[in-house]
């Protein structure tokens, strides 16, 4: 953690864990009789509890959105670019909350935690959860923190889907939804990629039908493949060309199956390091959370009807080179909001970094978030 | 084989195998002291041997380009759409030749054939070959068939790359090159997908470093994953949406890891059936053939210089929804040809089927090929 970085950082933060001793009924028909959420907060909640911002994480991230866990940390939280003093989610103004969702593997109740009924780790017995379930569990957290209404719920990718679900399920409980690089539901191609990732994990002999903890092993090969594949879909063709081109690692072709091109080396590294940080059962589960997201389904496929009761303002943003959830998918959300007479700001940000752009400090994007959050801050102050 | 289909079919064909008892030196520095090619021919070679057309196959296909191997065959050869009496490559006019390339697994010398030096199957000891090597081996076949000059060399995808290489390496030996849905070299994203496919195969415990024949097993999981992944990249997002959408196989979500969506079922089926038809070592090898293709490399990256000595006319065609080798990649080829003052016709065909479009009977596309080949036929008749 260098001094330069810490100037506008929330600094060293400590994750908290909260246990809810009340039942959470899930979309699948099962329920969790109790559950824990790991979460972090940055900034101070005002007296009226009107300046709270909920940040929702995407596929492979967690509650550690900003700052550092120790002075030795090399990397800050996953959205440190956007959260901190003077940053778009300005912690001098807002009380920022981020939790690891249920089914996660970073401290919240999930496949790698104890099932108190069986006194064993959940493993594959952890129920398939949905964005709706996540949002419900986050509402418990809001209750516990004394937050009746979020000034804003924000997220990119799967995080943006949670912001959408908040606007639909708890219309009274948020003033703004920031939906970034998201989609109203996955396409067949999106589901196809997720299915290849799942099959890679499930077909790994070390998976043991999800009971690999008991066998003291990890489906490394499968999880690593899933991550390599995912990673390609997070980058644009252009950004990969700019980053690697056809550069050879050793300056020449080796006429074998070792690494020839830099891009191969990079992807292998991404896959291998991910395995040490993430749980395969959680990866499986979260790809299903993505596949199942389709808030229009209860409204005969009409997304505008799903939004009918929403009361918040919306910011929808997409990135031109994102081919995982391209601008066209964001425009579907915008169209539904307009059809439903909602307030929506839409921006298509010129960026060649692909889907990952939502994590990066792209000037136009930072400016957009900053401006929007200044407005949110004004609303907060008017209310107080 | 229904009567309807056979009306403009080449009918039942018999593959041939030819053995070359002469050494083939390869790009990698090794050589094959002898080798076999499996091939098929359709139509009749004219007396002057001026009406010969070479069809080059792509990643997972072979020498069986048209017709049927038996009356019971349900499917014809892979490019039957284009080859036959009255079809673009009209077998009433042209003598059409297609061979399985070396390194293949359908009868030509490759990993699953006997290495006469060791009296064992080649397996992973089969050398990494290149498009240049393939074209050289095809020139041996041309010699053997008495063909001094092809009226046309044609192919889609990796097949188009072979047509390019013919134009560069044997400028006197072809009158036309048809380069369809190809690219002058793979992008980092293309290589990335190939690398994930390779890692899926190589990390399968049943792969045994390529010596799975000796273990009487097959890396089913890995090869199946590779095919599933490949398949997604052959289709467009649109065509997958049109074909599957988010249709559920059983009409409801099952909240588990069995098949929910039709697209999952389709991809699993594609993967599983491919394993029974294709060899994993060949799959690995051919992904490397693709990755290594870069004819400009010997010319300081200047593709136009690579084409300098080419004498043939070119047809370059791309498909609007192809995101594996999008139109932009074809235009790179066209630009290089124009910079080198070559005759080139370029067409971008409106089609939403993605990369696979080059195999499909799309009316505009069929018309294009038909018109071009009529011209080729005229040239043949003028020469005779």
Task: Say how many Å lie between the first and final Cα of chain A, rounded.
Answer: 36
Q: A303: which 2 tokens?
A: 């997304």
Give the integer Cα–Cα distance in Å for A179 and A188.
21
- Domain with residue A32: its CATH number is 3.40.50.1820
3-state secondary structure of A19: strand
Indicate if B77 and B156 belong to the same structural domain.
Answer: yes
Q: Measured between CB atoms, does A131 come within 8 Å of chain B?
A: no
Cβ–Cβ of A255/B28 closer than 8 Å? yes
Indicate if A46 and A120 belong to the same structural domain.
Answer: yes
Give the integer Cα–Cα distance in Å for A379 and B48.
85
- Domain closes at, from A246, A269, A286: A286
**Number of structural domains in chain A:** 2
Give the integer Cα–Cα distance in Å for B346 and B336.
12
Indicate if A51 and A132 belong to the same structural domain.
Answer: yes
Helices (H), chain A: 3-6, 131-145, 158-169, 188-202, 220-234, 237-243, 262-275, 280-292, 303-306, 327-339, 363-383
Q: Measured between CB atoms, does B232 come within 8 Å of chain A?
A: yes
DSSP-derived letter for residue A167 is: H
Give the integer Cα–Cα distance in Å for B315 and B179.
6
Cβ–Cβ of A193/B232 closer than 8 Å? yes
- Domain closes at, from A236, A254, A286: A286
Cβ–Cβ of A294/B246 closer than 8 Å? yes
Burial B34-57 (b: 16+ CB within 10 A, else e): ebbbbbbbbbebbeebbbbbbbbb
Indicate if A98 and A139 belong to the same structural domain.
Answer: yes
Indicate if B65 and B24 belong to the same structural domain.
Answer: yes
Cβ–Cβ of B188/A246 closer than 8 Å? yes
Burial B327-360 (b: 16+ CB within 10 A, else e): bebbebbbebbeebebebbbbbbebbbbbbbbbe
3-state secondary structure of A49: coil
Indicate if A47 and A162 belong to the same structural domain.
Answer: yes
3-state secondary structure of A100: coil
Quickly state the pLDDT bin for A87 (edges 50, 70, 90).
very high
**A328-380 pLDDT per residue, tens:** 999 999 999 999 999 999 999 999 999 999 999 999 999 999 999 999 999 99
User: ∠A44-A106-A176 over CA atoms, to 5°?
Assistant: 45
Indicate if B244 and B179 belong to the same structural domain.
Answer: no
From the list B111, B346, B332, the residue with the least C-alpha distance to B212 is B111
User: ∠B32-B34-B37 over CA atoms, to 5°?
Assistant: 100
**B260-303 pLDDT per residue, tens:** 999 999 999 999 999 999 999 999 999 999 999 999 999 999 99
Three-state secondary structure along chain B? CCHHHHCCCCCECCCEEEEECCCEECCCCCEECCEEEEEEEECCCCCCCCCEEEEECCCCCCCCCCCECCCCCCCCCCCCCCEECCCCEECCCCEEEEECCCCCCCCCCCCCCEECCCCEECHHHCCCCCHHHHHHHHHHHHHHCCCCCECEEEEECHHHHHHHHHHHHCHHHECEEEEECCCCCCCHHHHHHHHHHHHHHHCCHHHHHHCCCCCCCCCHHHHHHHHHHHHHHHCCHHHHHHHCCCCECCCCCCCCCCCCEHHHHHHHHHHHHHHCCCCHHHHHHHHHHHHHCCHHHHHCCCHHHHCCCCCCEEEEEEECCCCCCCHHHHHHHHHHHHHCCCCEEEEEECCCCHHHHHHCCCHHHHHHHHHHHHHHHHHHHHHC
Q: Enumerate the residues of chain A whose CB falls inside 8 A of the CB of residue B195.
A: 228, 261, 263-264, 267-268
Provide the residue-wise pLDDT of chain B in tens; the chain has 384 residues.
555 556 789 999 999 999 999 999 999 999 999 999 999 999 999 999 999 999 999 999 999 999 999 999 999 999 999 999 999 999 999 999 999 999 999 999 999 999 988 999 999 999 999 999 999 999 999 999 999 999 999 999 999 999 999 999 999 999 999 999 999 999 999 999 999 999 999 999 999 999 999 999 999 999 999 999 999 999 999 999 999 999 999 989 999 999 999 999 999 999 999 999 999 999 999 999 999 999 999 999 999 999 999 999 999 999 999 999 999 999 999 999 999 999 999 999 999 999 999 999 999 999 999 999 999 999 999 876
From the list A277, A298, A289, the residue with the least C-alpha distance to A131 is A289
Q: Measured between CB atoms, does B202 come within 8 Å of chain A?
A: yes
Residues 6 or more apart from A301 whose CB is under 8 A from it?
none
Q: Measured between CB atoms, does B203 come within 8 Å of chain A?
A: yes
Identified catalytic residue from B157, B239, B318, B330: B157
Give the integer Cα–Cα distance in Å for B295 and B183.
11
Give the integer Cα–Cα distance in Å for A181 and A382.
30
Give the integer Cα–Cα distance in Å for B211 and A117.
47
Would you call A338 exposed, middle or buried from its count of C-beta atoms within 10 A (0-12, 13-18, 19+)? middle
Cβ–Cβ of B255/A185 closer than 8 Å? no
Quickly state the pLDDT bin for A167 (edges 50, 70, 90).
very high
- With a cut of 90, say whether residue A4 has pLDDT above it: no
- A37 close to A15: Cβ distance less than 8 angstroms: no
Give the integer Cα–Cα distance in Å for A154 and A313.
12
Residue B332 backbone dihedrals phi, psi, to 5 degrees: -60, -40
**Positions of A marked active-site:** 157, 322, 355
Q: B208: which 2 tokens?
A: 């045994």
Q: Least CA distance to A271: which residue of chain B?
A: B196
Indicate if B78 and B22 belong to the same structural domain.
Answer: yes
- Domain with residue A254: its CATH number is 1.10.1740.110
Q: Look up the domain containing B141 and give its range.
A: 3-185+295-383
From the list A34, A166, A1, the residue with the least C-alpha distance to A97 is A166
Give the integer Cα–Cα distance in Å for A40 and A54.
10
Indicate if A175 and A44 belong to the same structural domain.
Answer: yes
From the list B316, B317, B319, B330, the residue with the least C-alpha distance to B354 is B319
- The pLDDT value given to residue B5: 54
Q: Enumerate the residues of chain A whose CB falls inside 8 A of the CB of residue B200.
A: 200, 225
- Domain closes at, from A231, A258, A286: A286
DSSP-derived letter for residue A125 is: G
Indicate if B87 and B199 belong to the same structural domain.
Answer: no
- The pLDDT value given to residue A372: 98
- B178 close to B153: Cβ distance less than 8 angstroms: yes
Neighbouring CB atoms inside 10 A of A114's CB total: 11
Q: Least CA distance to A229: which residue of chain B?
A: B196
- A168 close to A342: Cβ distance less than 8 angstroms: no
Indicate if A299 and A366 belong to the same structural domain.
Answer: yes
Q: Least CA distance to B229: which residue of chain A?
A: A196
Give the integer Cα–Cα distance in Å for A227 and A277.
11
> What ipTM did this prediction achieve?
0.95
Indicate if A224 and A301 belong to the same structural domain.
Answer: no
Give the integer Cα–Cα distance in Å for B139 and B123.
25
Residue B55 backbone dihedrals phi, psi, to 5 degrees: -105, 130
């Amino acid at each position: 953690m260098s001094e330069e970085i810490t100037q506008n950082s929330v600094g060293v933060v400590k994750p908290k864990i909260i246990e809810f001793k009340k039942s959470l009924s899930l979309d699948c028909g099962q329920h969790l009789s109790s559950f824990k959420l790991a979460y972090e907060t940055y900034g101070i909640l005002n007296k009226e509890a009107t300046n709270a911002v909920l940040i929702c994480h995407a596929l492979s991230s967690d509650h550690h959105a900003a700052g550092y866990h120790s002075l030795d940390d090399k990397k800050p939280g996953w959205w440190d670019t956007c959260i901190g003093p003077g940053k778009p989610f300005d912690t001098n103004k807002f009380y920022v909350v981020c939790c690891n969702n249920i089914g996660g593997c970073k401290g919240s109740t999930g496949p790698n935690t104890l099932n108190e009924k069986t006194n064993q780790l959940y493993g594959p017995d952890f129920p398939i959860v949905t964005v709706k379930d996540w949002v419900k569990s986050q509402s418990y957290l809001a209750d516990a923190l004394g937050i009746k209404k979020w000034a804003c719920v924000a997220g990119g990718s799967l995080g943006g889907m949670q912001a959408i679900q908040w606007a639909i399920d708890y219309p009274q409980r948020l003033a703004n939804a920031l939906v970034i690089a998201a989609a109203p539901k996955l396409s067949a191609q999106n589901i196809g990629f997720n299915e290849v990732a799942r099959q890679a994990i499930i077909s790994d002999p070390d998976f043991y039908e999800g009971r690999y903890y008991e066998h003291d092993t990890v489906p490394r090969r499968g999880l690593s493949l899933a991550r390599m594949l995912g990673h390609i879909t997070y980058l644009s063709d252009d950004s990969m060309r700019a980053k690697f081109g056809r550069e050879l690692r050793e300056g020449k072709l080796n006429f074998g199956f070792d690494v020839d091109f830099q891009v191969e080396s990079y992807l292998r590294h991404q896959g291998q390091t991910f395995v040490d940080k993430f749980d395969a059962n959680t990866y499986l589960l979260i790809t299903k959370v993505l596949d199942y997201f389709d808030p229009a389904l209860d409204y005969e496929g009409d997304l505008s009807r799903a939004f009918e009761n929403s009361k918040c303002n919306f910011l929808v943003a997409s990135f031109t080179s994102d081919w995982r959830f391209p601008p066209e998918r964001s425009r579907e959300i915008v169209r539904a909001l307009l059809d439903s007479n909602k307030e929506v700001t839409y921006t298509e940000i010129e960026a060649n970094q692909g889907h990952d752009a939502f994590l990066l400090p792209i000037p136009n994007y930072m400016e957009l978030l900053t401006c929007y959050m200044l407005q949110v801050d004004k609303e907060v102050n008017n209310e107080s």
